[in-house]
Amino acid sequence: MVEVESRSARGAHSRSSRSFPALGGQRITYLLAGAMTAAVYYALLGLGLLAAKGTVPYLVLVVMSHLITVVIVYPWYRLVVFRVSGQSWLAGYLRFYVVGLSFLGASILGLPVLVEYAGFPIMLAQALIIVMSPPLSYVIHRTWTFRNRENV
């Protein structure tokens, strides 16, 4: 059984009574959160492409899907993955969104290359970009977005 620690605003660690026996810690919950994030985003993009039927540029749908996804998944990252409490939700969300913007930028730059020049279908091209994002995202979120600000 794995005990999960949470951080308070003062930086103190406390043991939670919640345990996730199947999860090996923060990296595993982060991978699950990343899979959830990718699934939500990918579903929103796919639904947007189906609904728009080519009337809305795919990059506009990418931006819209990204904005909605970030709002949906931020609480999971904050409360479950990084277990932050006592710090400003808005400040944390803004840092989370800034990191997300870098990956939105990767999609905005990468998709036209893969779709327009390499001839990949939009959803396949986006899947390739999604697969490359989680390892880098974890490091950035762990060291900047959700770091313990008391120890800086």
| Residue 59 parent element (H or E) | helix 58-76
C-beta of residue 49 within 8 angstroms of C-beta of residue 61: yes
Q: What percent of the chain has pLDDT over 90?
A: 44
DSSP class of residue 16 equals E
Please state, in angstroms and rounded to a whole number, the distance separating the CA atoms of residues 13 and 124.
42
Section 113-135 average pLDDT: 91
pLDDT of residue 5: 43
- One-character DSSP codes across 84-134: B-SS-HHHHHHHHHHHHHHHHHHHHHHHHIIIIIT---HHHHHHHHHHHSH
For residues 26 and 51, the answer to whether their CB atoms sit within 8 Å is no
Q: What is the average per-residue pLDDT within 105-130?
A: 94
What rounded mean pLDDT belongs to the chain? 82
In terms of Cβ atoms closer than 10 Å to its own Cβ (0-12, 13-18, 19+), residue 40 is: middle
- On whether the pTM is more than 0.75, the answer is no
Q: How far apart are CA 120 and CA 72, in angstroms?
A: 28
- Give Cα 41 to chain centroid, integer Å: 9
Taking residues 20-41, report their average pLDDT: 78
